[in-house]
Amino acid sequence: MAEVTSQLVPNMSDEEQNVTSAATDDVMSSTWLRVFFVSLYGIIFVLGVSGNSLVVYVICREKSLQTTTNVFIANLAVSDVMMCLLAVPFTPISGLLSDWVFGRVCMPLYGNLFLTLFYDPADRLKTYLSWQF
pLDDT one-digit tens code per residue, 19-67: 555 555 566 677 888 888 889 989 999 999 999 999 999 999 999 999 9
DSSP letter for each residue of 18-82: HHHHHHHHHHTT-HHHHHHHHHHHHHHHHHHHHHHHHHHHHHHH-GGG-SHHHHHHHHHHHHHHH
| C-alpha span between 85 and 120 (Å, rounded) | 16
Give percent of the chain with pLDDT exceeding 70. Answer: 66
Please state the domain extents for the chain.
30-132
Looking at the structure, give the CATH architecture of the domain made up of residues 30-132: Up-down Bundle (1.20)
| Most confident option among 28-37, 97-106, 118-127 | 28-37
Q: Give the orientation angle of helix 31-61 with respect to helix 68-86, to 10 degrees.
A: 150
0.75 surpassed by pTM: no
Higher pLDDT, 109 or 78: 78
Q: What is the DSSP letter of 99?
A: S
